[in-house]
Amino acid sequence: MAIKEILTAPDPRLREVSKPVDKVDDALRALMDDMLETMYDAPGIGLAAIQIGAPVRVIVMDLAGKDEEPSPLYFVNPEILDPSEDMNVYEEGCLSVPEYFDEVERPARCRVKYLDYHGKEQVLEAEGMIATCIQHEMDHLEGVLFIDHLSRLKRERVLKKLKKEQRLAAAM
């Protein structure tokens, strides 16, 4: 396993639409293992493959708390089914938009159809934080960042700050 570099906005690769995976094989499991190690190291609770430069429809997540046993979830070719009409608001952050958090409204519940780590089809009934997290990560697969759900002014302010930080880091 290896820790990969996480792409940060405004990297144009984050705007790519990820391609479906043909099969779950050892190479894909190695990618998922690397993604999980990268996510834990960051630290974060979810990571889409595109965030490490792999434009495939793969997500890893682990919502276990600090003192809880790790409980990783692997989603290959996930599809959101039946999003609820009732909404929840959670404060979201993103490893690709470091050190910025804001409230985002999303469906409170959904079902997710996907292939697991071993290529077996699964359906997850998601609500609350896990529903928010899966929808956030699914956005990445479509080239959407959580800041795209904010006002244009907030989004532009965040991107301007990130560009400035990247210029300063490059100058060092």
Distance CA 170, CA 172 (A): 6
- What are φ and ψ of residue 72, in 5° steps? -70, 145
Of 129, 113, 26, 22, the residue nearest 75 (C-alpha): 113
Q: Can you give the pLDDT at residue 3?
A: 95
Q: Can you give the pLDDT at residue 85?
A: 96
Q: Can you give the pLDDT at residue 65?
A: 85
**Intervals of the chain under pLDDT 50:** none
What's the pLDDT tens digit per position in 83-97? Answer: 999 999 999 999 999
Active site residue 5: no
Q: Can you give the pLDDT at residue 167?
A: 86
Q: Can you give the pLDDT at residue 111?
A: 97
Question: SS in 3 state form for the chain?
Answer: CCCCCCCCCCCHHHHCCCECCCCCCHHHHHHHHHHHHHHHHCCCCEEEHHHHCCCECEEEECCCCCCCCCCCEEEEEEEEECCCCCEEEEEEEECCEEEEEEEEEEECEEEEEEECCCCCEEEEEEECHHHHHHHHHHHHHCCCCHHHHCCHHHHHHHHHHHHHHHHHHHHC
Of 117, 128, 166, 136, the residue nearest 48 (C-alpha): 136
Q: Can you give the pLDDT at residue 66?
A: 83
User: Which domains are delineated in the chain?
Assistant: 12-171 (3.90.45.10)
Catalytic residue among 137, 142, 156, 165: 137
Q: Say if pTM beats, i.e. exceeds, 0.85.
A: yes
Q: Can you give the pLDDT at residue 171?
A: 85
